[in-house]
Amino acid sequence: MIKKKQRLRINEPSTGFKIFNFFILLIITLTMLIPLWNVTVYSFTTDLESYEHTLKLWPKQFSFAGYKTLFESVKIWLPFINNVYITVIGTILHVMVNALAGFVLTRKRFPGKGFIVLIFLIPMMIPGESIIIPRYLVMKQLGLINSLWSVIVNNIANTFAIFLMRNYFMSIPISLEESAKIDGASLFTLFKKIYLPLSTAGLATISLIEMVGKWNTLFSAVLYINIPERYTLQQALKVLIVNTESPFTSGLSIPNNAQAAGVIVALVPILLFYPYIQKYFIKGIYLGSIKE
């Protein structure tokens, strides 16, 4: 097994630099946190106050009205479960397929390599808009319309992820592979026992990206799913704001605090989950194991 060691701090940066660093990051952090805080505050305002269009740092009057409206207008449980379903399955499939594909690209010169590289690279150059309708047709032919699998299947192989994984695999010293091959390891064993474990940062990265993407699925859900029981979370929430923008459709007016509450409700699970995955790209995976 490969041991993980703490990264040694050899020399400390100067205090001046530390302060400078702190300030820059503070400014950037603030520009991110203030909008988030603003939305959170709005989700706890009264209906009337939420109609104000200013930057708020605290509600004039604290209220749960937004959340009340949200949970009354939108039956959130089912979309939430649908979201978990598509995110978990989608991400697992995504990681498996792209890790394997990325690994293939690390193999030196084999017949058909150029062809495979092209096949993997070209999809990224194709603008999505032109294939929306043909892809709808494919989904229809596969019988996936109204099935959550249409959404799951939507981004399983992805050029970006494949090349990213390839990169992370390439940073693993070749000596490990060579010594394993001497011990008679097959390709699959190489992948499973050496490359996969050592590239957790890469796996974590593409998992995170895909997880967030799947969790926030809206467009493909609206396109492929017509049954309310199968709505994704964002789709169900969109019902809240569906009519407030068009000047022609009068009637439905959902106050801003409910919309803000919707944003927060969709965001919270990701924010809670994120720290768990974060440690994979903060902690260093020590490669000193070569000596062992």
Q: Which of residues 194-223 bind other proteins (CB under 8 A)?
A: 201-202, 204-205, 208-209, 212, 216, 218-219, 222-223
In whole angstroms, how far apart are CA 196 and each of 42, 96, 99, 189, 191?
44, 10, 8, 10, 6
Task: Take residue 131 and report the two structure tokens written for it.
Answer: 């294939």
DSSP string over 178-195: HHHHHTT--HHHIIIIII
19, 60, 62, 132: which one binds other proteins (CB under 8 A): 132
Closest C-alpha to 236, from 74, 87, 81: 74
The rounded distance, in Å, linking the Cα atoms of 207 and 196 is 13
Of 191, 175, 200, 181, the residue nearest 292 (C-alpha): 175
- Residues 12 and 21: their CA atoms lie apart, in Å, by 13
SS3 263: helix
What residues from 57 to 116 belong to the interface with other proteins (CB under 8 A)? 73-75, 82, 85, 89, 96-98, 100-101, 103-105, 107, 110-113, 116
Q: How far is the CB of 152 from other proteins (least distance, A)?
A: 9
Among 2, 117, 185, 196, the residue binding other proteins under the rule CB under 8 A is 117
Burial label, 212 (beta-carbon count in 10 A; 0-12, 13-18, 19+) = middle
CA distance 10 to 22: 20
Please check whether residue 169 is in contact with residue 103, taking contact to mean a CB–CB distance below 8 angstroms.
yes
Among 19, 60, 62, 123, binds other proteins (CB under 8 A): 123
284 binds other proteins (CB under 8 A): yes
Least Å distance, CB 148 to other proteins, is 5
- In the structure encoding, which two tokens stand for residue 262, read together? 């919707």
- Return d(Cα 46, Cα 258) in angstroms, integer: 10
Q: How far is the CB of 184 from other proteins (least distance, A)?
A: 14
| Residue 184 in the binding site for other proteins (CB under 8 A) | no
# of chain residues touching other proteins (CB under 8 A): 149
What's the min distance (Å) between Cβ of 97 and other proteins? 4
In the window 236-255, what residues touch other proteins (CB under 8 A)? 238-239, 242-253
| Contact residue for other proteins among 164, 176, 194, 261 (CB under 8 A) | 164
Query: How many CB atoms lie under 10 A from the CB of residue 98?
Result: 28
Q: Is 267 in the site for other proteins (CB under 8 A)?
A: yes
- Kindly state whether residue 289 participates in binding other proteins, applying the rule CB under 8 A: no
| Cβ 229 to other proteins shortest distance, Å | 8
19 contacts other proteins (rule: CB under 8 A): no
* Position among 59, 71, 136, 185 found at the interface with other proteins (CB under 8 A): 136
- Candidates 2, 157, 185, 196; binder of other proteins (CB under 8 A) is 157
DSSP 8-state class, residue 140: H
